Each structure stands twice: as C-alpha cells, then as structure tokens.
Amino acid sequence: KGKSKAKTSDEAVEFQGIWEIKQRDFELKEKLNKQKLLDSLIAKTEPLGELEISLKNKLITDMLLS
C-alpha cells in the first residue's frame, strides 16, 4: 500500500531537519580543522616557507571574515 501524503510530508520534513544538522556539523568540523591547521602553523618554531606563510595568511583572513 502507498504511504499517505501526511506521512510522506512528515518524513520529508524530518529528512530536511537531519540534512540541515549534517550540513551544520560538516561546516563546524571544517572550521575546526582550519583552526587546528592554523594553530600548527603558528606553533612552528622554524621559519615558515612561502606556501606556509600564504596558507597561514589565508586561514587568518577566512577566520576574520566568517
């Protein structure tokens, strides 16, 4: 038998809620990973290479803009 429209609608709303939570979780994990990377670049005792300096500056800029 087919599902009623109300049940299908409820499932769609529930799925949408779960999807939004997963998206937010992914965004927070990505932000945390960037913070950890920046922390490791800042904590380095030896001089940073050109790419590391560029990455550090980009991460700082991204954090300030978000």
Write out pLDDT tens, residues 2-59. 567 777 888 999 999 999 999 999 999 999 999 999 999 999 999 999 999 999 999 9
The contacts of residue 31 (CB under 8 Å, 6+ apart) are 66
Q: Please answer whether residues 34 and 62 qualify as being in contact, where contact means their C-beta atoms are separated by less than 8 angstroms.
A: yes
Question: What is the reported pLDDT for 7?
Answer: 78
pLDDT in the model for residue 34: 96
Structural domain total, the chain: 1
User: What residue numbers bound the domain in which 22 lies?
Assistant: 5-65
Q: What does pTM read for this prediction? A: 0.72
Residue the block writes with tokens 């609608």: 9
Distance from C-alpha of 37 to C-alpha of 30, rounded to nearest angstrom: 11
